[in-house]
Structures are given as structure tokens and as C-alpha cells.
A and B are shown apart, each in its own frame.
Chain A
């Protein structure tokens, strides 16, 4: 009985590292989507931020600087998406696909250039852990919780949040009320990019402890699924992140228990199939921001 309990505790503690990027990137995307901008390039943003913060940590050993570089990388990619997708009215989905492809190519080229390998970087310095009942817990867990609570407060209890939501609900009405739709959407997209960047830094500097090729492995898209699951509410994103993270923890647990390397490949599909199943069940009840992904054309 004690053994079972301790395994359950392991599974739950193991859900926390995969949960963090899904919460951070998910909350960032919620902010952007509430303003009417869809950014599927968060996958590539996470990948590039994981890379830039990893490289910074490798050369300077300064983790605060590394996290800042990751945030700046995310902000720059968010700004690019805002420039192309909001101001120049490009197709937001296609831009996202392009950003993801660019990020993939760029990350492999840099991996080879920096460390001469197509696989993974050497060990990187990692963020300190907090110990709760002798389980090491990521420092970014309380940070993620604080960010989602704060985002909820801003989105639903402040004038700023009202402006953001108005841009996603009915941009024309927002403009008529004196809201600068382009500006609000751009800021929301940059903030979303920054949070995806933090999620990326978590991957290389907190969870894995190295940069590996395609370290994101579709997590940006699971974060998008989390947006849908949480009905564009940052507090629900905590629960969603935990659920999706749990399946990833389960996949890792199963492959460790089975001791069979080819079965491990089979278990790797668990988080993807589970995500698909959860989204299929919950999507029906979701209410999408009406102006999502549609360019705003000022008359």
C-alpha cells in the first residue's frame, strides 16, 4: 500500500515539470487569443528560447541573464508575429507555420555550430529547486501559478483586461470606444511570446538540463490544446496544464517500468493521444473569441 502511494506521489511530482511549459505558454496564448490573435508559432518560440537561454547559460553560467535572454527571444518573436500578423495582416496560421519551421532549422544549425552535434548539448547549469516533503519542485511552479492568477486578474478585473477582451470580441466596437486595437493586439502578442519564451527556458534550464534537438516535441501545440481546454481562462490553464502534464509523466513512468526500449516508443504517444481525446471531449463547450485570427482592417 505504501509502495503504491509512493508511486502515485512520484507520478504527481513527475507531472509538475511537463505542466509548467503548458501553463506558461498556454496563459501567454490565452492573452494573445483573447485580444484576437492566434499564434501557433509558440512551438518555435519555445524552441528558440530554450536554445538562446541554453547557450547563454552555457557561456556565462548566469541563470538570471539566461532567463532574460529567453524572455527577450520570446518577446522578439512575438513582436515579429504582431508586425506581420496584426499590422501587415498576414495569415496568422501560415506565419506560425513558417516561424516553427524557421525555428527548427535554426535550432539544429546552432546546435551543430555551437556543440558540433545533431543530438543534444552538454549539461547546462539548472535553476535551483525548492524541496517540498523531500520532493525537489521547480522554482518556476510558484512563478507559473502567480502568472496565471495575475493574468486572470488583469484579464477579468481591470480596464486593461476589458480592452484586450473587447479587441477579441468585437474590434470595431472596441475602436469606437477609443481603444487602439492594433496596439492592444500587438502588446498582447508580445506578452504571449514572452511567456512562451519563459516556457522554453524552463525546458532547457530547469527540466531537462540540456538543449536537445526538438526539445519542444509538440508541447507548443499541447499548450494550444490547453487554451481550448481552459476555455481561454488562465486559472483553468493550471488544471489543464496539470492534466496534460500528468499524461506525459505517465508516459515516462510506463517506459521506465516496462524496461523495453521499443515499448518506450509506444508509450510516447500517450500524451498526444490523451490531448486529442481531452480536446475532443471539451471542445464542444468552448466559446472561441469571435474575432480570433481575423485581421482587423481600420477604415
Chain B
């Protein structure tokens, strides 16, 4: 157990170090001050902790969108598209129902439906979920742009959609001096629900068993196809919820090229991997990634380094987190050396 934790800590530190080294290398090659850049990426976001926590709720949800299916060994790379759909449906529903609850719920359900289709195509027709999900991401990207520019555009500001009515918006609440966004609290609650669902319900158990061993699942009377599909649908619910939360809680509209959402589905994959697919871990890692994202924006403003540098950085972190075996080898290598030295 202790060794497992040690390895986990080593993995996180190693991957963050790898990411930061690559980012520093890129910055120095391009003639920017790497130390100032890294300082801004890590600490730039901390100047506004309330906002940092609030924004983390969005990638916390896309993180869950990846990790719940991942526990059933389903690879949901479609959080991005589920998020677009969730945002779009939430926006449309909010125009007719002036309360935040219904738009959020319908956005989540719409995302869930997308997840369900991706999962069912894999489970019942053997269509690889990675291909399906990416095709869906691009389809919904252009479909959202089409719908925004054709039906939902704002006549006063054509680059964006109409606004969410006042009555449907979520905003901040004041908790004895700390101004927290309602969406942060909602997301924490949902992450706890996800934790309960995964570790304390029959469905969660079935998801984890079929993820660990499909054969054992079949022997235990679990239908792995059904579990796979349901886990994907659940992931889609979280993805859709992230998009709905973005529109209902932060921007109150969708811009024509979806810039306020773009990429958050993929950020969620990093969040999920660093949080070890555990909802509690995801709460923490989403705050870390939120720090990087806001820090990246701070860096762009004050140093003119594009904020996409943080995408390259998270890419390296994701690659490094893909290799638990390499760290295990490293640990046993260090141990062998230690033992070897003791014997001398």
C-alpha cells in the first residue's frame, strides 16, 4: 500500500517535472524567459483563488466524463463533443425555461445520449469508440457553429449566440468572505455522487469488475456490453454537464467558434489520469489543471507566449502518466542499486 502511494507520488512529480521541462525548453528556444513563464503558469492563476476554484468545476466534470468509462476500460475521448452538445442544449432550453435546473439537467442528458451512442456502437457493433468519439467531436463542433450562426445568433452581436435569461443563470455566493461560484459547489457534490456511484452501488461494482476483467464479469453474471454502454452514457452525462455549466454558470452565451469551451474535454483526460480515475483525486487534480490553464492565460497576457503552450505541457504530462511501468522499473532499479551498495 505504502509502495503504491510512493509510486503514485513519484508518477505525479515525474510527469509534472517532465511537462515543465519541455515547456521551459520551448520557451527558451523561442527566446522567452523560461523561469518567468513557468512562474506565471504555476502561480499566475493563484492571484484569484475564487475564480481558480470556480473554473476547476468545468474540467472536474470532463475529468469524470473520461474516468467513469475508463473504470469499465472504455476510452471516452469524446468529452469534448459531449460538452458542446450539453452547452448547446442547455442554452436552447434556458430560453424557454427561466430556471437553471432544467437547462443543466437537459444538457447533461443530451451529453449522456451522445455517450450512450458511442458506447453502444462499440459494445454491440464493435466500432472502435476512439474513432466514433472523434468523428462525433468534429460533427458537433461544426453542428454547434451552424446552429449558433443560423438559429441562435444574437442580432446585436452576431459573433455570438443569444444570452441565457437572467433567471437561468448561476452565479457566485458569499460564504463568509470567500466568494465561491455555485457551480464549484455543484461540481463537488456531483464528484461525491460519482464516488458513491462507482464504489458503493451495484452498477459501480459492475463497471469496475468488467473494467478489470471481462471474463470474470461474465462469470459473475454481469453483462459487459451493457455495463460498457452504461459507463459511456454516464461519462457523457458528466461531459454534457460541463458544457451546460459553462453556459449557464460562466459565459451565459456561446461564441461562434466555441472558444470558451474548446479543448476542455481533452483537458479532462489529463485531469482524470492525474486523479487516477478516482472522483476524489479528480477534484484535486482539476484544481491543479485549472491553475495551469489560468496561469497560461496570465502568461499570454504579460509575455505574449500563446496560452496553447499549456496544451503542449498537458500533453507531456499525459504522456508521462501513461507509463506506470516505467516508474515501477525506476523504483526497482533504484532499490537494486541500494541493495547492491549495501552488499559492498
Contact = CB atoms under 8 A, between A and B. Distances in A.
B130 interface: yes
Contacts of B305: 109
Contact of B323 (A90, A102, A108): A90
A266 B311 CA distance: 28
A279 B312 CA distance: 31
A224 B322 contact: no
Given A101-B318, A105-B315, A118-B306, A218 B134 contact: yes
A284 B126 contact: yes
B127 A265 contact: no
Contacts of A84: 319, 322-323, 326
Nearest to A44: B315
Given A280-B121, A280-B127, A284-B126, A225 B318 contact: no
A196 interface: no
Contact of B134 (A221, A261, A284, A295): A221
Contact of B135 (A89, A105, A225): A225
A221 B326 CA distance: 28
A131 interface: no
B125 A283 contact: yes
B143 A89 contact: no
B315 A95 contact: no
Given A95-B322, A99-B315, A109 B309 contact: yes
Nearest to B145: A265
Interface string A70-84: 000000000000001
Q: Which of B137, B312, B316, B320 has the most CB of A within 10 A?
A: B312
B31 to A, nearest CB: 9
Interface string B109-125: 00000000000010001
A242 interface: no
Given A97-B77, A266-B146, A109 B318 contact: no
B271 interface: no
B30 A109 contact: yes
Interface in A108-154: 108-109, 112-113, 118
A185 B313 CA distance: 28
B142 interface: yes
A108 B126 contact: no
A269 interface: yes
Interface stretch (A58-66, A160-168, A173-181, A270-278): A270-278
A286 interface: yes
Interface in B87-140: 121, 125-128, 130-132, 134-139
Contacts of B146: 262-263, 265-266
A291 interface: no
B315 A109 contact: no
A204 to B, nearest CB: 18
Interface string B308-332: 1111111111111111011001000
A212 interface: no
A95 to B, nearest CB: 5
A212 to B, nearest CB: 14
B323 to A, nearest CB: 4
B75 interface: yes
B312 A105 contact: yes
Nearest to A282: B127
Interface string A183-198: 0000000000000000
Contacts of A112: 306
Contacts of B321: 94
Nearest to B133: A221
A102 B273 CA distance: 16
Nearest to A40: B130
A281 B12 CA distance: 42
A256 interface: no
B289 interface: no
Q: Which of A95, A221, A266, A295 has the most CB of B within 10 A?
A: A221
A100 B309 CA distance: 13
Contacts of A90: 319, 322-323, 325-326
Contacts of A276: 131-132, 135-136, 139
9 contacts: A90-B326, A93-B75, A95-B322, A95-B323, A100-B315, A104-B315, A265-B142, A266-B146, A284-B125
Interface of A: 40, 84, 88-91, 93-95, 97-106, 108-109, 112-113, 118, 217-218, 221-222, 224-225, 228, 261-263, 265-266, 268-269, 272-273, 275-276, 279-280, 283-284, 286, 295
Q: Shortest 5 CB-CB distances between A and B: which pairs?
A: A102-B315, A105-B311, A105-B312, A98-B318, A98-B319
Given A94-B269, A105-B313, 6 more contacts: A88-B326, A90-B322, A93-B75, A102-B311, A266-B143, A276-B135
Interface of B: 22, 26, 30, 75, 77, 121, 125-128, 130-132, 134-139, 142-143, 145-146, 149-150, 266, 269-270, 273, 305-306, 308-323, 325-326, 329
